[in-house]
């Protein structure tokens, strides 16, 4: 006779395990993409330079203006959110990873679209496309966990 804790456990199927691994790999790629060019910014001389999310979030020389602090917070989100979601996808087998992944994908996609805007570079474009792909896998994994298991 099964006790109450056995019935409440979430059993991970082979499909959901594969999707979880794919999501973890895609989030790892998102973290790697922070080292690619994310945006173009004009410097004091009027020259336009490409910057990565990592360069704008971590400045060894420090932050001189409030605009630089705002950019550092914005681009730190592009580094921190995928890292958190990566570890949740690797370690968590419950539905927490799906909810967190949806929130991360929607937040980062909106920040790339509306935060960076017209100065978007190739790394941010690829990151945006991967967020759409991750959102697809997340909803598929969420539906797999909610749907009744056919094996029972």
83-138 per-position pLDDT tens digit: 988 888 888 777 778 888 888 889 888 988 888 878 888 888 899 999 999 999 98
pLDDT, position 148:
63
CB-based burial, 26-37: b 16+ in 10 Å, e otherwise: bbebbbebbebb
Percent of the chain with pLDDT over 90: 10
Q: How confident is the model at residue 149 (pLDDT cuts 50, 70, 90)?
A: low
Contact 10, 145 (CB under 8 A): yes
Predicted confidence at residue 97, as pLDDT, reads 81
Residue with tokens 């570890």: 87
CA distances from 148 to 8, 11, 13, 20, 135 (A): 13, 11, 11, 18, 22
Q: Residue 9 — very low, low, confident or very high, per pLDDT cuts 50/70/90?
A: low
Average pLDDT value for the chain: 82
Choose the weakest-confidence range: 66-70, 95-99, 123-127, 146-150.
Answer: 146-150
Contact between 21 and 106 under an 8 Å Cβ cutoff? The reply is no
**The pLDDT of residue 152:** 47
Q: What gap in Å lies between CA 74 and CA 111, rounded to an integer?
A: 8
Give percent above pLDDT 70 in the chain.
88
Q: Is the pLDDT of residue 151 over 60?
A: no
Q: What are phi and psi of 40, to 5 degrees?
A: -110, 130
- Collect all residues with Cβ–Cβ distance below 8 Å to 94 and sequence separation of at least 6: 10
> Could you give the residue ranges of the DSSP H alpha helices within 63-110?
66-91, 96-110
**What is the pTM assigned to this prediction?**
0.80
């Amino acid at each position: 006779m099964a006790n109450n804790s056995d019935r409440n456990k979430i059993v991970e199927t082979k499909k959901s395990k594969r999707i979880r691994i794919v999501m973890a790999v895609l989030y790892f790629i998102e973290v790697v993409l922070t080292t690619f060019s994310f945006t173009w910014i004009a410097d004091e001389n009027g020259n336009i330079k490409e910057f990565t999310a990592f360069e704008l979030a971590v400045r060894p020389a420090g932050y001189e203006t409030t605009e630089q602090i705002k950019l550092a917070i914005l681009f730190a989100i592009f580094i921190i959110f995928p890292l958190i979601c990566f570890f949740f996808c690797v370690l968590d087998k419950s539905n927490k990873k799906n909810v967190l992944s949806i929130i991360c994908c929607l937040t980062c996609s909106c920040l790339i679209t509306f935060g960076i805007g017209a100065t978007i570079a190739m790394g941010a474009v690829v990151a945006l496309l991967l967020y759409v792909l991750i959102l697809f896998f997340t909803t598929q994994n969420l539906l797999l966990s909610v749907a009744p298991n056919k094996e029972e």
